Chains A and B, each alone.
Chain A
């Protein structure tokens, strides 16, 4: 069975279009059957695409939050009313964390490419899963703490006398809430990425 499938695959791989990749594929096939290899390669390509989407979501969140500031059109002699993300420490943490997540995702792309080229190698998969889980926690922490603060900015809290600031700074609030939503989208992408890595580890 093993030999047969190898025979079938060889002419397909060595057609003129695939010639450049042929040696790498040969190395990968050494230690296992080729049926689950194709399955794992499909998973790896899906993983790569999800990473690209997560990069967009994470960087969009960081950029939206980082550029959100609003100056009100009226001012007194001493005071100018303006709000920007660095008035609130939680939003600062959000910007830094989302930038870190975006940077990590860009750096993880090469490892993801390695898993496409060698779909049956365990080490890069395991590395990706370990790092992804850590960054998932960072991403979730940033998104949900910013969500808690934006909820407070929208609704305020009567019991502690914290007044909602969104009645004055409507634009600022909308932008920061949008950034939080985008961060949660990237959390969802990360969750799927971890699950994909787990499934691919099972099928080797």
Chain B
């Protein structure tokens, strides 16, 4: 009888311990989501507000560069805005994970959505990176000239806005791994 009670105590302690662990994971997840949100919204705003007008102009043409001159950069802004909106909405589910103990179904839901958002964000960031590289270096074989010699501060800003996006990609990968680890713990 006594040994049985001890066993029960032991298991309840184990459950408490694993509950504490999964709560820690949930809190870490919440924080990571907030950080990722600021990264994506930051790079969307930085890219979206970039434009440069050169101080000289001819009679007919004014030289100016803006993000929506290049379709890949437009896609970058849209993708970052969508992902940051998703991250804000997913904070509610992350909060539920902190409060509740049985969270398997919502975690699966978050894994699926996170993977989709990871794909969207990665494609936006890397297609923008390809175009930014081209703007910096140009390509001799295809006669595409480097435009960064003229539009210097424009190029610096669009390169900078890539950084936040790539940090957010790493954070999303970490979030997926955290959800998987939380799922694989025994309940």
A residues with a Cβ closer than 8 A to B are 83, 87-90, 122, 125-126, 129-130, 133-134, 136-137, 140-149, 151-153, 157, 159-163, 165, 187, 191, 194-195, 197-199, 201-202, 204
Contact = CB atoms under 8 A, between A and B. Distances in A.
A160 B143 contact: no
A contact face: mostly helix, strand, loop, or mixed: helix
Given A137-B169, A157-B70, A90 B133 contact: yes
A194 B111 contact: yes
Given A136-B118, A143-B123, A165 B142 contact: yes
8 contacts: A89-B133, A130-B177, A159-B69, A160-B135, A160-B145, A162-B142, A195-B112, A202-B104
Contact of A144 (B123, B144, B181): B123
Contacts of B176: 129, 133, 194
Nearest to A128: B180
B180 A157 contact: no
B115 A133 contact: yes
Contacts of A202: 104-105, 107-108, 183
Q: Which of B124, B145, B173, B180 has the largest count of A CB atoms less than 10 A from its CB?
A: B180
Interface in B171-187: 173, 176-177, 179-181, 183-184, 186
B139 interface: yes
A89 B131 CA distance: 11
B127 A144 contact: yes
B122 A137 contact: yes
A21 B136 CA distance: 59
Given A137-B118, A198-B108, 8 more contacts: A88-B139, A140-B123, A141-B122, A159-B70, A160-B144, A197-B180, A198-B180, A202-B105
A161 B118 CA distance: 33
Q: Tell me the interface secondary structure of chain B in the complex.
A: helix
A160 B126 CA distance: 20
Given A151-B71, A159-B65, A202-B108, A133 B177 contact: yes
Nearest to B182: A201
Interface residues of B, number: 45
A144 B122 contact: yes
B119 A140 contact: yes
A194 B119 CA distance: 12
A194 B133 contact: no
Nearest to B125: A141
Nearest to A184: B123
Contacts of B145: 160-162
Contacts of B107: 202
Given A191-B115, A199-B108, A87 B141 contact: yes
B141 A136 contact: no
B80 to A, nearest CB: 14
A201 B180 contact: yes
A88 B104 CA distance: 46
Contact of A194 (B115, B135, B147, B169): B115
Contact of A157 (B69, B108, B186): B69
Contact of B180 (A126, A144, A147): A126
Contacts of A162: 134, 142, 144-145
